[in-house]
Amino acid sequence: MGLFVAIDRASRWVYLEILCDKSAKSASAFLKRLIKKAPFKISKILTDNGKEFTDRFTAHGEKGPSGNHLFDKVCEKHNIEHRLIRPGRPQTNGMVERFNGRIKDILATTHFRDSEDPGTTLKRYMQIYNHYIPQRALGHIAPVECLKKWRKKKPELFVKMVYNLAGRDTFFRGSQKIGSRNFFRGVNKHA
């Protein structure tokens, strides 16, 4: 199994998937789904030098891109500049490395009943992280709040609207707020 993680450097927005392997086919399929899920245009992507992302390295050192690697083909099709970290310098991709550390902590401290539970738990954590966990680097707001601010300032960078998840105490019908926690306790006079 392989964990694929993408983090937007500006907003700290995260997208992740657990896939059956770490192949070029899986990495390129992950990138295609990331492009569909991201509310913004992706112009650059930074990856490590694994063979799932590049064919630019051999046992004898670096070579030029062939243009035939599946991941590079997806990047080219979507006008995404594919950058690689320097060999032996994983700290260049520090945001992903730190996030992977959080994931390892979650997996190490959680008891799972079956093989589907880790994926469900990580998807749930991704939603919580994106919508509710304030980031110091963002001025103590969550990534989705940051994206909403960016969208107001630079709408040309976005391909779709950015929405909050409805919280436990807030319920929506379409885009209209219809009540709060009290909505289920009795008659809502405001609905």
Distance CA 122, CA 109 (A): 13
Domain positions in the chain are 2-138, 163-191
pLDDT (mean) for 157-161 = 93
**Residue 159: DSSP 8-state:** S
Class of the CATH domain delimited by 2-138:
alpha beta
For the segment 44-89, what is each residue's pLDDT rounded down to a tens digit?
999 988 889 988 765 555 566 566 889 999 999 999 999 988 877 6
Pair type for strands 44-47 and 81-84: parallel
| Cα torsion through 141, 143, 145, 147, rounded to 10 | 140
191: pLDDT strictly greater than 70: no
Q: Does residue 132 surpass a pLDDT of 70?
A: yes
**Three-class DSSP category at 3:** strand
User: Residue 14's pLDDT is what?
Assistant: 95
Q: What is the pLDDT of residue 148?
A: 95
Q: pLDDT class for 2, splitting at 50, 70, 90?
A: confident
pLDDT value, residue 101: 85
One-letter amino acid for residue 174 of the chain: G
Average pLDDT over residues 131-155: 94
For residue 116, name the pLDDT band (cuts at 50, 70, 90): low
Task: Map residue 47 onto helix, strand or coil.
Answer: strand
Which among 51, 57, 59 is positioned nearest to 23, based on CA atoms? 51
Question: How far, in Å, CA of 139 to CA of 130, rounded?
Answer: 14
pLDDT higher than 70, residue 178 = no
The pLDDT, as a whole number, for residue 118 is 82
Give me the pLDDT at residue 151, please: 95
By residue count, the chain amounts to 191
